[in-house]
Amino acid sequence: MPSAKVLEAKKAVVAELVERINNSVTGVLVSYKGISVADDTALRKELREAGVKYTVVKNTLLSRACEETNLTGLQGTLEGTTALATSDEDYAAAARILANYAKKSKTFELKGGYLDGEVVDMATVDKLAKLPSRDILLANVLGAFQAPIASFARAVQAIVDKGGVEACEKAEEAPAEETAPAAEAVEAPAAE
Please tell me the predicted confidence (pLDDT) of residue 192: 45
Residues 15 and 60 in one domain: yes
Residues 115 and 167 in one domain: no
Residues 147 and 73 in one domain: no
Whether residue 187 is predicted with pLDDT greater than 70 in this model: the reply is no
Please tell me the predicted confidence (pLDDT) of residue 42: 92
Directed axis angle between helix 93-104 and helix 122-130, to 10°? 100
Point out the domain boundary residue: 131, 147, 175.
Answer: 131
Q: Which residues contact 94 (CB under 8 A, 6 or more apart)?
A: 26, 27, 28, 47, 50, 52, 54, 85, 86, 87, 113
Could you tell me the residue range of the domain that residue 187 belongs to?
137-191
Q: Is 175 left (phi over 0), alpha (psi -120 to 50) or beta?
A: alpha
CATH number reported for the structural domain that contains residue 114 in this entry: 3.30.70.1730
Region 117-133 average pLDDT: 83
Please tell me the predicted confidence (pLDDT) of residue 153: 81
Residues 120 and 145 in one domain: no
Residues 17 and 92 in one domain: yes
Residues 148 and 96 in one domain: no
Residues 40 and 121 in one domain: yes
Residues 21 and 114 in one domain: yes
Residues 92 and 146 in one domain: no
Mind listing the pLDDT tens digit for each residue in 40-87? 999 999 999 999 999 999 999 999 999 998 888 888 888 899 999 999
Residue 53 Cα to chain centre, angstroms: 17
Q: What does pTM read for this prediction?
A: 0.67
Mind listing the pLDDT tens digit for each residue in 126-181? 888 887 776 777 787 787 878 788 788 888 888 788 776 666 566 666 555 555 45
Residues 78 and 145 in one domain: no
Mind listing the pLDDT tens digit for each residue in 10-24? 999 999 999 999 999
Stronger pLDDT, 129 or 114, i.e. the higher one: 114
Number of domains in the chain: 2
